Amino acid sequence: MTSGYAIVAVVVVALGTILVGTYGLRVSRTTSDFYVASRTVSPWWNASAIGGEYLSAASFVGIAGLIFAYGPDMLWFPVGYTAGYLVLLTMVAAPLRRSGAYTLPDFAEARFRSRGVRAVASILALAIGWLYLLPQLEGAGLTLNTVTGAPDWVGALIVTMVVTANVMSGGMRSITFVQAFQYWLKLTAITVPIVFLIVAWQMHGSESLTKPEYPVFRQDTEVTFQRPTSIHADEFISIRGTGEIDGARVENTVVVLTEGYHRIGQGSEFTFPKDAAVPHLSTMEHNTNEMWSLPMSSGQDFPLYGAYSLIIATFLGTMGLPHVIVRFYTNPNGTAARRTTLIVLGLLSVFYLMPPMYGALGRLYTPELLMTGQTDAVVLVLPTRMIEGIGGQLLGALVAGGAFAAFLSTSSGLVVSLAGVLSQDVLRLGGVRGFRISTVLAGIVPLAMTFISTGMPVADMVGLAFAVAASSLCPLLMLGIWSSRITKAGAIAGMLAGGVPALTAGLVTMFTDTGDAWYEILLSRPAAWTVPLGFTVMYVVSLLTPRYLPSGVQRTMVRLHAPENLGLDGSGSSSAEERS
Amino acid sequence: MTTPPPRRPVEKPTQRVVVTSPRTRAPRARRPYSGTREINEQSELGAVYMRTLIRAQRRLGLSVCLVATGALAVLPLLFAIDPELGRFRILGLGLPWFLLCVATCPMLLLAGWFYVRQAERSEREFAELVERP
């Protein structure tokens, strides 16, 4: 898999990002520039930037990997990531912009006039941001590992360094340019290769993707096992190579894998023969390609609960992501915020057409990933596998570059928003210096976390961040914007009641091995119970504590909902700023 | 509205008198300010204006959101009730693949476009209402 072109692509993307960022350095001078680009960004720029920021490791490599492994149930990830923007558009886009705040804690304070609500919102925003950064870094590690064979931590370190340097030097203004550029780069990097791959698939005789057979090796395939792996072979299969099987050391000899379970040691390298059925990871459901293409085939316990929990988390979680929210303040007014969101919906729809195609082709061409469990690598491996020679290598380089762009852009957005929260609420350091110190801190914490997490699929990890956002900050936004009855006590109680269980569940699934316990699904997909909990507690506690109604709530509501150009009290910008 | 002068034979030359009446039945004296001022001064009437706007926007937002996401949310249930539905093919794609990959995006875009149009319209109407002197 090691390819010089791919390394060049990754380096070019990293350098390009830094260059575009430095260009922004000349423009950004004041503190306001750093945070929100002085609100001079047009809807198209802004929408591209939101798209660039939002399409993360999960979107670029994770979704294809999950679909490849588990089939159409996982299509709810791209659907949810897109539909989240419809919910955001209809429920929060314009009022959020009109609140005139920089970050989510600012919104909490503007709406509730309370330091307490602000503090809780800050902590949750930080937790969600770090939870979301972690899979980006893991994804970067995986990408570099796949294309260069470097250890996992190298990619994470590179992404952290590039992003931190870039955010520190340019701030949001440059980030807006970087992000907009990244969206189009990512779209190109995922679309161009899939076009060629489909042509190649047609030329290979457009073999059916849903044959009633188990995936087989298309050619003699050399497989490296990065971690100790437990696999299940369905028929005996003779493999050749060096490594460790069921505790016995093998040196470059032919071994017969009998039917049943086998443990393969870390670092083993075996060549599997052509046309043999691919053994599968013992924790993964073994499906024929036909079964795989049907819904409810992923072999999870309680698939219906899992599907609905995922739907709730992604539909409602989008609005609670700190890096998405900060983008809305760069719109000149509420109307522009709505139009921006609509454009984002279109941009995302186009992008999310692609990953399922990679997942489906992977069943035919890269089935060994089902055995090693590195399903997230399917997007990266396919081009070199399907197209021989330099063409495949160039396409592989393009995909690797795009994936790296995905990690860089999402991490940049997250680091900007987290640094904003850190400098304002935690460190209480104002000005550009405070922002820079916070940036370093925002990047280092998740880097440290990558060393202790257990390797779960990146899209699943991102799903957990969504679940926390959906159960804590989503109720705050939705109820805060649309009901004037929410009190300070209710807001705090609701955020904690939804956010703390979701966060705990997320950390437990990420850092411990819950295995096959019946409650595993409740922890790995917590949204279906934590989201209703958050909403209910926030509303009920508010009704019970009318004494804590924030002062001037009517005035706040005017500011959130009245169009800016009417000159109503508290509205942020005047009609002179209006543009469409 | 001008009323025609009464035709009465009098000695004086005909005198034209303009009589106007308010077009609404609401008593005019109670609304000497524009809606903008009512809202800024936190009057009862201003609160009613705002409540109306917020309710209209909330209803619009919730209905678009619920219709679109509700349509999506019945799918897992459908596939769970009858997994054989997954074998049904449209344009060469299995039904779940077609619905989730191809059909969803235009549906969401249409819903979003409709929402933006309606929301901007109701804001325009609100603006006309409160800016009327």
User: In angstroms, how far apart are the furthest CA atoms of chain A?
Assistant: 81
Domain boundaries, chain A: 4-204+304-481, 221-277
What total of structural domains would you count in chain B?
1
**Interface probe with B: pick from A90, A211, A574, most Cβ of B within 10 Å:** A90
Ramachandran angles phi, psi of A268, nearest 5°: -70, 145
B22 and chain A in contact, CB less than 8 A:
no
Confidence of residue B109 (pLDDT cuts 50, 70, 90): very high
The parent domain of residue B103 ranges over 33-131
Q: pLDDT tens for residues A245-265?
A: 887 788 888 888 788 888 888
- Searching chain B, which residue's CA lies closest to the CA of residue A296? B80
User: What does the pLDDT read at residue A577?
Assistant: 34
pLDDT band at B33 (very low <50, low <70, confident <90, very high): low
Q: Which fold has domain A4-204+304-481?
A: Sodium/glucose cotransporter (1.20.1730)
Q: What pLDDT is recorded for position B26?
A: 56
Q: Do B53 and A76 touch (CB under 8 A)?
A: no
Of residues B57, B96, B113, nearest to A295 (C-beta): B96
Interface test with B, best of A86, A91, A361 (most B CBs within 10 A): A86
Query: Quick one: pLDDT at residue A578?
Result: 35
pLDDT at A217: 82
Distances (CA, A) of A395 to A196, A386, A392, A408, A487: 9, 10, 5, 20, 55
How large is the average pLDDT for residues B90-115? 86
Cβ of B65 within 8 Å of Cβ of A304? The answer is no
A349·B105 Cβ contact <8 A: yes
Residue A226 phi/psi, 5° resolution? Answer: -75, -30
Residue B7 lies in a domain: no
Contacts of A311 in chain B (CB under 8 A): 69, 72-73, 76
CA–CA separation, B16 and A395 (whole Å): 87
Q: What value does the mean pLDDT of chain B take?
A: 78
In this structure, which amino acid lies at residue A279? P
Which chain B residue's Cα is nearest to A552? B42
C-alpha span between B16 and B107 (Å, rounded):
63
Q: What pLDDT, on a 0 to 100 scale, did the predictor assign at position A575?
A: 34
Nearest chain A residue to B36 by CA distance is A568
**What is the H or E stretch that residue A244 is in?**
strand A237-245
| CA-wise closest residue to A74 among A462, A365, A529, A516 | A462
Asked whether residue B84 is assigned to any structural domain, the reply reads yes
From chain B, pick out residues whose CB is under 8 angstroms from the CB of A83: 68-69, 72, 104, 108
DSSP state of A568: -
Low-confidence ranges of chain A (pLDDT < 50): 1, 34, 38, 172, 570-580
Tell me if chain B has a CB within 8 Å of the CB of A94: yes
From the list A94, A308, A569, the residue facing B76 with the nearest CB is A308
Q: Is the pLDDT higher at A36 or at B60?
A: B60
- With a cut of 0.95, is the ipTM above it? no
A79 Cβ under 8 Å from any chain B Cβ:
yes
Q: How many CB atoms lie within 10 A of CB A468?
A: 32
Nearest CA distance, A209 vs chain B (angstrom): 10
Residue type, A265: G
Q: Which of residues 462-521 of A touch B (CB under 8 A)?
A: 482
Closest listed residue to residue A224, CA positions, set A452, A381, A71, A67: A381
pLDDT the model gives residue A573: 33
- Nearest Cα of chain A lies from the Cα of B27 at a distance, in angstroms, of 25
* Residue B15 domain flag: no
Q: Do A319 and A54 contact (CB within 8 A), yes or no?
A: no
Please indicate whether, in this complex, the C-beta atoms of A83 and B68 are within 8 angstroms of each other. Answer: yes
**Structure confidence by residue, pLDDT tens digits, B10-25:** 566 777 777 766 565 5
Q: How far is B17 from chain A (nearest CA, A)?
A: 38
Give the SS3 label for residue A56. coil
Q: Which among B40, B58, B86 has CB closest to A295?
A: B86
